[in-house]
Amino acid sequence: MKQHSSALLYGWVTLIFLLIITSLTMALVLQFTSITNPLLDQLATVLAFVILFIAAFIAGLKAKSKGWLVGILLSLGFSLFVFLFQYLGYGELFSVKQIIFHTGFLAACIIGAILGVNLTGNRQRPA
């Protein structure tokens, strides 16, 4: 259990770091270029999937077992954070479109963590 907690912590730190860097970069691009809003929405969605996949992959590398569980916990924690921010800050619940996105985030996290666990390279040779 301690190993999974540590893996989740690594995943969260990676997730937060990548989100901050990406948000800062997108804000600077929006400030100094003429990118339109539809393009920015699509780019933000793709980057969110990639960031969650990378964070789950790193968490899976650290966990070394039960990647599906680490991916689920990472994704549900992210979705809970977004939900609480949206509900407490703006008084709005998830829309159907957001539920679909967060289901995709769940899939990306599960796949990333499973790949992270399976690519650790600590397998023993058969005798």
From first to last of its 127 residues, the chain has per-residue pLDDT tens of 777 889 999 999 999 999 999 999 988 888 888 877 778 888 889 999 999 999 999 999 999 888 899 999 999 999 999 999 999 988 889 899 999 999 999 999 999 999 999 987 655 555 4
- What is the value of pTM for the model shown? 0.87
Helices (H), the chain: 2-32, 37-63, 67-90, 96-118
